[in-house]
Amino acid sequence: MISILVWVLRMSKILLVDDDPLFRTWLADALIAHGHEVECAVNGFDGLARIRAGSPDVIMLDLVMPQMDGFEVLKARECSTPVMMFSACDNEDDRIMGYQLGADDFLSKPFSIKELIVRLHALERRLHSNCTTQSRIEQTQIKSVNFDETSYRITIGNRGVDLTQTEFRLFKYLFDRKGEVITKQELQRSVLQKDLGRFDRNLDMHISNTRRKLAKTSLPRNLINTVRGQGYSFTV
C-alpha cells in the first residue's frame, strides 16, 4: 500500500485539454487541491503541441472541441501517455471510438471529482504495475516472443496478447528488426501494403491499439517506441 501511495504522489503531472474555460478552471483547481500538477491547453491544437513539447504522466482530453476534436488529438499524438477522455454526450459509439483510438478511460460530463480521482488512481496503479513489469522485462532484454500466426496471438513470458492481423504483422515486423528505427513509410508499405498519405493516421491508430492491448495485459506500452520525426522501433 505504501508503494502505491508514493507512486500516486509522484505521478502527478497532468495535461488537461478542454476548450471550456469554466470547466477547465474548476477541474484544474480540484486536481491541484488533490496534490497534482496541472498544465492546461485551451484546444486540440494547443494540446497536441504541449504533448509533443512535454512529458505529462496523464492526459485528460475533452472530446468536443472546435477545429481539432479529441479523436483527432488521439490520432495525431505520437506518444503512449495514458488518456482519460471526457464528453458531455453519453454516447456508446463515442466511447467505443475513444477506446479504439487508444483512450484508457472515458467519463461522461458531468462527473464528480471523487469519481475522477478514484479512476485516476486506478489508472496510476495500472501504470505502476506496467512499469514494474517493464523493469523485469528490460532486465531479461526480451530475447524471445512466441508468435501464433493462426490466432494472431503473441506470448511474452506467461502473458499472451490477442491482436488483429494487422497489429500482429506490425508487431512482428518491428520485433524482427529490433534495435532498428523503422520509418512510417516502410511500415505502411511493407505491412499495410499502401503508401503513407500526408493525413493518414491509420498506422498510428494500429500502433496505439497494440500498445493499449499490451498495457491491459500488464506489458509495457513502450515495447514499441516512437522515435520522433523518424518512425518506430522495438525495445531491446
- The model's pLDDT over 36-64, given as tens digits with 9 standing for 90+, comes to 889 999 999 999 888 877 778 899 999 99
pLDDT reported for residue 127: 65
* pLDDT over threshold 90, residue 151: yes
CATH class of 142-234: mainly alpha
User: Which grid cell sits at 18?
Assistant: 478542454
pLDDT for residue 15 is more than 90? yes
pLDDT value of position 200: 65
Fold of 2-133: Rossmann fold (3.40.50)
Where are the domains positioned within the chain? 2-133, 142-234
The answer to whether the pTM exceeds 0.85 is no
Sign of CA dihedral 168, 170, 172, 174: negative
- pLDDT of 130 higher than 70: no
For residues 91-95, give the mean pLDDT: 89
Q: What is the pLDDT of residue 65?
A: 93
Query: What residue has cell string 504495475?
Result: 129
* pLDDT band at 33; cut points 50, 70, 90: confident
